[in-house]
Amino acid sequence: MQYFLISVCVLLSLVLPGKAAERAPEHVSSLHWVINTAPPFHILDGPFAGQGICDVLINVIDAHLAELDSERLVLPQSRIRQQFQRKENQCFPCMIFRPLPGETIQSEPTHFYYPHGIITTSAKAEMIKERHGNPVRLASLINDRSFRLGYPDGRHYPAVQHILDRAEQGGITLLAHTGENAPLAILSMIKMGRIDYTLEYQILHNFELAQQGTTDLVFLPVAETQGQHVLGAVGCTNTEWGQAAIQQINRVLPQVRQHPDFLQVLEVWFNDEPESAPYFELLRSRVWQTTD
């Protein structure tokens, strides 16, 4: 009888392993980064090549996880999105932070963005402000058929996405631009008069100024996003591999967030102060203190 009980226990331990014998977490030996041509997040050519916010963020993360191999693949945003949907193992360095996993699982916040606003020409800006206020009431502007909105395909605007969706359902045409360097292509279309404005972060206007030296484009704040900010984070595919990759990234984020190279690139592109406190003071309270 004793031998029978021992045999049963051994069999059960093989068929129904306990917590101590559960499958080990997915091992991560390399980070598979996917990036797109979207300055100043990623800058692939020109005088600022390699100085995009996300370029430097990857550099610093890789330096702190030197035991892992690292590869980067440049893809269109639509392809990146499709691969996340297909559960292909990859990480995108500059996502909007969402605490609940979906197709992606995300790191703790890395930095923050000032809220989305409108980029348009100086002449159109005066007309927009006269009709729709300053800050601009986006819900009013987007239904004004004398102004055409364009934006890069695949972009999402958390605070005002419902306004865009409702406008499209009401028959308003919004131009989504696909292809390489979509943000810069959108700015070119505004300059040529093919569209009238776009919704963007202020840093794209800063990039335009840095690259061109001067510009006729202006940035206008939006009423619906006033007083808000957007947290950035690394996002990986929500698989066992992605969960393990995020665990590794989170482990070094306290050092990454305060690394001199990362702080320097943030200083380059967040060089204006639309709020009452400097960017780095707000970074400390909104990102460092809430997560470290």
Spell out the domains of the chain, with CATH numbers in brackets: 30-113+230-291 (3.40.190.10), 117-225 (3.40.190.10)
Q: Residue 192, exposed/middle/buried by CB under 10 A (0-12, 13-18, 19+)?
A: exposed
Between CA 79 and CA 88 the distance in angstroms is 11
Give the SS3 label for residue 112: strand
Q: What is the DSSP letter of 136?
A: B
Residue whose tokens read 């309270």: 285
**Confidence at residue 5, expressed as pLDDT on a 0 to 100 scale:** 41
**Confidence at residue 15, expressed as pLDDT on a 0 to 100 scale:** 42
Contact 139, 149 (CB under 8 A): no
Q: What is the mean pLDDT of the chain?
A: 89
Between CA 94 and CA 34 the distance in angstroms is 10
Between CA 275 and CA 228 the distance in angstroms is 10
**Confidence at residue 292, expressed as pLDDT on a 0 to 100 scale:** 53
**Confidence at residue 176, expressed as pLDDT on a 0 to 100 scale:** 87
Which carries the bigger pLDDT value, residue 9 or residue 237? Answer: 237
For the stretch 229-269, pLDDT in tens is 999 999 999 999 999 999 999 999 999 999 999 999 999 99
Question: In which band, very low, low, confident or very high, does the pLDDT at 177 lie, cut at 50, 70 and 90?
Answer: confident
Cα within 13 Å of Cα(202), Cβ side: 21
Between CA 28 and CA 69 the distance in angstroms is 9
